[in-house]
Every structure is written in structure tokens, then in C-alpha cells.
A and B are shown apart, each in its own frame.
Chain A
Amino acid sequence: MARWKELMKGRTLRFVLVAASSSAVVVLVALSLRGAVAQHSPGTSASNDDEWIQLIDQARRVRSGELPVVLPTPVVSAGTTVLVACAQIPAEVHFSGVSNDPGPLPGQGRTVLKFTDVSKGGDGPSYAMVVDWSQKLGGCDSRVQQMVAGGKAQQLDIDAHICDEMRIAAQGRDLSDKTMRQPSARVARAYLGAFCQ
């Protein structure tokens, strides 16, 4: 009996020790995952030129397909119906949320639209639609066509604008666009080499 008790004591102790260590492993993994998410959302800022160039290189590798791209799933409020085709859009809609979500390559991306059917007043049902930029939009609400075309065109404008500013910075001069962070000439040259050829 005493031997059995001794054995059980030892087994219980071992059980508790193993349980505690596996708890610790699970907690550590969870915390490290949380840390990883916190590090990337929202953007972590480079504190020196080397880090900045590293980020540029990382983005270049994503664009080249070397690193995977993960586009977040758009979150739609409860009670909102997700539509998949232009033909499903009600006749009288009020757009309440529009976001252009570009992919890594020029011309790639999607526009997330949210709208309300206002044919019977402002308290009509809510809808959402995700339009891929490769999707043909003939026959779609003309406003949707304009929003998507505008979103695509603006991405090209933004990329061209950044390249123009980087050319200025590469000469060691101050950016003309004060909404952008001033890079060193070295960082600007790295960006030009990666994205402005």
C-alpha cells in the first residue's frame, strides 16, 4: 500500500510537472504569436538606414513572388449580405464604405464596397461586395465602375509619385511632398532599384 502510495505520489508529481511544462510551452507559443502580430500590425518603423533598406528588400521579394502575400479577409458587420455579382446590386443604393486594397503587382488588387438599399428609406438592408480588379465590370452600376477604375488608376499614380520623390531624395535633396518621410540618398537609391525601373 505504502509502495503504491509512493508510486502514485511520484506519478502525480510527474503528471503535474509535464502538464505545467506543456502549459508553459502553449503560453510561450501564444505569446510569441501575439508578439509577431503586434510587430506587423500596424507597420513597424525602421529606425536606421539598414533596417529601412531591409524592409524595401522584403517588399521587393514579395513583389517578385519569393515571399508569400497574405491579403486580410475583409470584415463585414453582422447582418450584412455579401453579394458576388453586379447584377445583385439593388437599384437604389447609398455607398457607405469603400476601400481600395491593392495587391503587390501593379494592376492587382480588389475594391471592397459596402452599401445600403435605400429604395424604401435609409434603414434598408446592408450589403457588401468585394470586386477583384481583374473582374470584368460591364453591366455593373456605373458608380462601381468609376470607383474601381479610379482606385486602380490612383495606385499607379501613387507608385509613380513615390518614384518621383525618391529620385529627388537620391540626389540628396529634400522631398517636395512633405507628407512623406525623408529618406537618405542611400535608402532612396535602394527603393529606386527595387521598384522604379
Chain B
Amino acid sequence: MFAERASRMRVPMFWLGAVLAGALVALGAILSLPRGARATSDPPVAYYYPYNGWAAQSHAEGHDGYGASNFPTWYGGSAKDGGEDACSYSNRYSNIQSAGSISTSSTSSTAELPDWSSGLVLSYVGCGVSSSSRTLITTFMSSTWGGTPGYTYHNAATGSQCSSQGLSSPCGDWATTSQVEISWWNSASDSSRQKLLLHEWGHAWNLDDYCNGATAMMNNGISPCNWPSSGQYYAKDRDAFYITYGY
């Protein structure tokens, strides 16, 4: 009786064994494929916002936001939430332009971002955009929502908002807002203003605050993690850009 049952079972067991062996081989091969992201001994600065935030938007607009040469975007404009625009004062305009140039020069052709020969490129569209526009907006507030000199938040796009652009969902942020406290700005040097903008735009690009010893523009600005003396993106920041997008 037992032998008879075992004999009946042998054929299905044979096929089952073959199928399982094949599946295991395939799974092993898939799992052993290189993943792309680099291992770091340091906690990463990168922080993945839902839907990959701003970079996904840039990519969806046709810019190759994932690891190639450009992250073109817009900045400037006014805000409906009590903010002032970036264009009504020349010191705002000139510092935004300078920070945009530093953003590009300190990320182009570096060892950490070998594929990004043009670096992070931001294009200025001037005034006339609002926080409802589909853009990164830098707006000036009497006090920021975070209670700090600068504060950045993301607004992920809904399915209907994506579809208004002819995009499937998810399609990244609809808008990303960097708020700057006016009183801090007015009493700060040009260098400090540019550092603040670079730090906030780093958040717009999904980089998190950092505080672990390395020199970084994404240091959180609070001792012992003060901002570096020179405003630019450093190796640690570029590593974070690579971890977030370089795959």
C-alpha cells in the first residue's frame, strides 16, 4: 500500500523538484544582479520622499533627472501663502542667480558624479509663478513654517494632477516650496544667503539634513554641524545626490 502510494507520488515529485530547482536558479541569478547604489560607512544624507519628489517631476518633464547630465528646474516667483516674490529686491535676485551658478559649478564633472558633466542646472523663470504653479518656488516669508531661516517642503502630485500634465501617476512633486525668513535674509551676508539657498534647494532635491562629521552643505546648521565656511555642494552632498539618483 505504502509502496504503491510512493510510486504514484514519484512522478509529480519529480516534476515539482524540477520546477523548484529551476525557479531557485532563476531567483538566485536575479538577486545576484548588481543594484547600483553604493554602500556607505556613514549614514546617508539621502531621504526618499514619497514618489521621489522633485527629481521625478524633472524626469517626467523630459529632463533626465536620474543620473545623467541635467536637473533643469525653475525658481523664483511669488506665493499665495503670505510670501513675497524673489524678484522684488535686487539682493534676492542676484543671490538666487549666484546660488544657481554655484549649484552647477560644484556638481559638474566631479569624482562623485562622474556621469553628470553639466551638474545640477537650475533655470530662472522670474516672477509670475505661484505656489500653485508646477515648479520649485523660493519665496520670502516674515516667518517660515518650520520656524528656521529656511524651510522646504514638497507637495506630491495627485493622480488627477499628474493626468493634467499627460503623465501617469506617480509623477513626482507638483510643487516644491523653499521659504526664506525675510528678517534673517536682510541681516545676512551674501555668502550666508547663498549657503541658505543651496541648503534649501538640497532639500528640494530630496537630500536630508546631515550631522555626522563630514563637511557638507546639508549639515543642519546647528553646532556641532555648522555650515561650511564656503557655500557649495561638497563630496558628501554629491555622494547623497548619487545615492538618491545615480542608478
Contact = CB atoms under 8 A, between A and B. Distances in A.
Highest count of chain B CB atoms <10 Å: which of A45, A121, A158: A158
A147 B153 contact: yes
B122 interface: no
A52 B52 contact: no
B129 interface: yes
Contact of B163 (A114, A123, A147, A191): A191
Contact of B153 (A100, A123, A160): A100
Contacts of B20: 22
A42 B15 contact: no
B22 A146 contact: no
B18 to A, nearest CB: 4
Interface in A165-195: 166, 177-181, 183, 187, 191, 194-195
A154 B76 CA distance: 18
Interface stretch (B89-97, B99-107, B183-191, B218-226): B218-226
Given A95-B148, A150-B145, A157 B162 contact: no
Given A42-B59, A43-B60, A97 B47 contact: yes
Interface string A89-106: 000001111111111100
A137 interface: no
B41 to A, nearest CB: 13
Contacts of B135: 179
Interface stretch (B1-9, B108-116, B171-179): B171-179
Given A98-B152, A158-B175, A166 B164 contact: yes
B133 A179 contact: yes
A104 B160 contact: yes
B215 interface: no
Highest count of chain B CB atoms <10 Å: which of A14, A177, A191: A177
Contacts, number: 254
A78 interface: yes
Contacts of A116: 209, 211, 220, 222
Contacts of A191: 163-164
B223 A122 contact: yes
A99 B82 CA distance: 20
B27 interface: yes
B155 interface: yes
B36 interface: no
B51 interface: yes
Contacts of A123: 211-212, 224-225
A78 B26 CA distance: 30
Interface string B135-150: 1000000000111100
Contact of A55 (B25, B49, B153, B166): B166
Contact of A72 (B44, B57, B170, B212): B170
Contacts of A162: 160-161, 164
Contact of A43 (B26, B145, B168): B168
B222 A94 contact: yes
Given A59-B160, A157-B131, A26 B220 contact: no
B165 A181 contact: yes
A160 to B, nearest CB: 8
Contacts of B19: 18-19, 22
Contacts of B223: 121-122
Contact of B50 (A11, A39, A58, A74): A74
A158 B174 contact: yes
B30 A45 contact: no
Given A99-B156, A123-B224, A191-B163, A18 B168 contact: no
Given A118-B222, A161-B133, 10 more contacts: A26-B22, A27-B29, A40-B170, A43-B171, A59-B160, A59-B169, A75-B48, A94-B220, A122-B226, A180-B134
22 contacts: A15-B17, A15-B18, A19-B21, A23-B23, A26-B30, A40-B169, A43-B167, A46-B167, A56-B163, A63-B160, A72-B51, A77-B44, A98-B153, A121-B224, A122-B221, A154-B132, A154-B155, A157-B80, A157-B132, A161-B132, A161-B133, A181-B166
